[in-house]
Amino acid sequence: MRPYAFGVDVGGTTVKMGIFHTSGDLLEKWEISTRTENGGEQILPDIAASVREMLKKRKISMEDVEGIGIGVPGAVRENSVVDRCVNLGWGVVPVRDILSSLLDGCRVMVGNDANVAALGEIWKGGGEGARSMVMVTLGTGIGGGIILDGKILNGAFGAAGEIGHICINEEEDAVCGCGKKGHLEQYASANGIAKTARKMLDETTEESSLKALEKVTSKDVFDAAKQQDKVAVRIVERVGQILGKALAAVACVVDPEVFVIGGGVSKAGPMVTDVIRKYFVKYAFHASEGARFELARLGNDAGIYGAVRMLM
């Protein structure tokens, strides 16, 4: 294996980039803007130019580069063709072929960003050492990435690991971002937790520090729960129950060794994994009860780590 590799994580606002030793050490990371105008036609040329600049700065020859791994926010077909990235303005884009031709035929591997981040976490993060993992990203929505036997599970239609869209309430009236109703992320993402909190606060006459807030966030809920605010504790328990039950169902399907919890909500720390695990054990099939729950460790770097890992 050649000594250097690039990891690239394309987001709607910035592209995160890193240069690695192929031993796994991150040498340097940086960001460039994502230029989404004109159908995002400048994104790949910008990335290629930034790779060349870094090579020049570090006096590294292209011959010493193993490849470029790249995670994108959309579905990726098996042949590394990307099929729509709404946030980038992309339709069908043969990312591998374009980027490779911009970089002298360099090897390029492409993956969905959530799946790639999961690969990063099992390599150097919360799932380190495990062979199978389900990564759950509790952010604006709920993202998921599944690693089995060290490899990303993409699914027949690119939708493996879309656990935020498990329907948990068929009687819900509010619509999920995907257009259907009653999905997990409507109740237990950062936004979902805020909504769940608002509803539970409205339904109780009990006092709570949260009632003084104009807008309650997921962070507010966990902070108040840590201060023993009783209503906040109940909200955390309810969210833990929703997530623990859903992940117990996930375990009935893929039975992973470890669940890694990431995203903004996970910044509340072990309280998050503890309450999810408590209800997971209640609802899981007995054989799967031993699955571990870990916090994600790589934060925003999971994508560039996983992108490099794809090359190996």
Binding residue for a second copy, selected from 167, 199, 207, 270, defined by CB under 8 A:
167
Collapse the DSSP code of 106 into the 3-class scheme (helix H, G, I; strand E, B; otherwise coil) and give the result.
coil
The sheet with strand 14-21 has its strands ordered as 26-33, 14-21, 4-10, 65-72, 108-112
CA distances from 73 to 9, 34, 54, 124, 270 (A): 9, 12, 24, 21, 28
| Residue 253 in contact with a second copy, rule: CB under 8 A | yes
Cα–Cα distance measured from residue 43 to residue 184, given in angstroms and rounded to the nearest whole number: 33
Nearer to a second copy, 34 or 288 (CB): 288
Question: Closest Cα to residue 138, out of 270, 35, 265?
Answer: 265
Q: Which pair of structure tokens corresponds to residue 102? A: 């911009």
- Select 85 or 210, whichever has its Cβ closest to a second copy: 85
Q: Is 308 in the site for a second copy (CB under 8 A)?
A: no
**Is 255 an interacting residue with respect to a second copy (CB under 8 A)?**
yes
User: Applying CB under 8 A, does 252 fall inside the site for a second copy?
Assistant: yes
Q: Rounded to the nearest whole angstrom, what is the least distance from the CB of residue 288 to a second copy in the complex?
A: 5
Site map for a second copy, 99-128, x if CB under 8 A?
------------------------------
Of 176, 173, 170, 180, nearest in space to 141 by CA: 176
Interaction of residue 261 with a second copy, rule CB under 8 A = no
Q: How far is the CB of 240 from a second copy (least distance, A)?
A: 13
Kindly list the residues in this chain that would bind a second copy in the complex (CB under 8 A).
Answer: 75, 131-132, 144, 146, 148, 153-163, 165-167, 170, 178-180, 245, 248-257, 283, 285-288, 290-291
